[in-house]
Structure 1
Amino acid sequence: MQNETLSISKAMVPCKGNLTSFVRLQRTSDESLKTTIQNHEEEFLSFAMQQPIQLKSNSLISPLFQNSHDTLTLPAQCYAVDFNEDFATITLLQ
């Protein structure tokens, strides 16, 4: 059994930086950023993982069962998000 969860921080603070790489995700006009990212999870993670990541793995193995829990943490980054009716452009600021 495999269970995956994508959590997005609700913290939004102004930050300054130079625009670097970006990803453009298709969306509908009434769709939230969280929903857009969840609908394009693989594409967003591929974009976000261009930066250093942290992977924590815990495993418990016994004769009766095996349990493994992996946590992938993306470092806190500043992103600029621009919405259009058809897509959201997420740009990394550095």
Structure 2
Amino acid sequence: MINSVSQKEKLLIMMTEIYDQLEELESVLDASFSELSDKWKTDELSKMVEPEQKISNLEKKIEEVYFKNTEEQQDSNIKNQKPASLKFELGF
């Protein structure tokens, strides 16, 4: 009976050691995954900076072209515009 108790104690000690090692491993893995996650986020954000700048530049160019065309159109409309009284007379 004493032998069986000592075997149980040995087994309990071994299981406790395994549990402690697993807890240590868990904390190391948590730290490692946290670092990897932070690095991944940083990498992905840095990858987005260049396309974001390109899109911003394209938007500026589009605005410049649009406003240039709009101004040219307004200028041509003003040049081609006839006095309002003439339009009224032609309507009769």
TM over 0.5: no
Greater Rg by CA = 2
TM-score normalized with structure 1 length: 0.15
Choose between structure 1 and 2 for higher RCO, CA contacts under 8 A separated by at least 6 residues.
Answer: 1
TM-score normalized with structure 2 length: 0.16
More helix by share: 2
